[in-house]
Amino acid sequence: MHHALVFSTSKHSFGDGNAASWLANLADEYTFLRPLDAPYWLHQGYAAEMLCQPDDSFEAKNLQHNDAFQTLRRHAANKKLDVNIVPANRRRKQILIADMDSTIITSESLDDLAALAGLGDAVTAITKRAMAGEINFEGALFERVSMLAGKSSRLFDQLIATTTPTSGAIELVHTMRANGAKCYLVSGGFDVITGPVAARCGFHDHHANHMHVRDNKILGTVQTPVLDRNAKAAYLAHYCKQNGIDPIDAATIGDGANDLAMLQAAGMGVAFEGKPLLLAEVAIQLNHTDLRGLLYLQGYKGRDFITDKI
């Protein structure tokens, strides 16, 4: 089977050389993948790829146990490069399911809300453990929200005003939409934030938890059932069925433990600056490339990117 070997970065441009020169120091490291051509640019200075035909024993979804590939990935990382390999067949995806916190936006929205309420350190510590998979997500969510009881709901407006999309988020959604993909934001955060973020980035729809508010006060409780890791995978299955699309033609992206199930269920599941649990389990990783990296993985070139509003 043919595969595309993709190198990418957003750390800095590498000038005007050709792609083969850009990757010359890594050439000996990827010969085991049996390249069929020389590297060529997807986006000059930022992303290049080549077509490969690994032997029949190669499994792109089992890279975490492939010593030669992990050596290549480590050496590429020393140069601030991501390296990933994906099947060349059915490469462009027809559905995108994206996590929000620390993926489509730059921060954890509940942590930011807590900071505005003067509760930052206590809440952030719980978030870190939950995203690492060290504690139960639902319990951690209830505990953090309970700390906000009695705070003004006007904090939501401040939070929305300071929320920042991750570099490449708008290009990712708009480019995929322009090429016929359905795009959905699915978050273990809260709908008061996913709504504005989804609208700003161009998602078709969004799903998240709902925090109870009465008389302009946060009550400290959450509507159940909670949107957790299983719910994210369920939304992937739902939208694939609704749109008549096989999960192999879906892309998912996220950073935390509650994203693992949906990443494993999609044809292209991507750990974006992933927590250690994801890095140990998910083959496709973007650690040095912004969200445009998911476009490179699908074979989009820099000139294909769309930044205008849909």
Q: Is 101 assigned a catalytic role?
A: yes
The alpha carbon dihedral of 70, 75, 78, 80 has a sign of: negative
CB atoms within 10 A of CB 254: 32
CB atoms within 10 A of CB 262: 27
Please identify which of the residues 82, 99, 249, 259 carries the catalytic annotation. 99
Q: Please say whether the beta carbons of 52 and 72 come within 8 A.
A: no
Q: Is 82 assigned a catalytic role?
A: no
Please identify which of the residues 16, 55, 82, 101 carries the catalytic annotation. 101
Please state, in angstroms and rounded to a whole number, the distance separating the CA atoms of residues 196 and 190.
Answer: 11
Which positions are catalytic? 99, 101
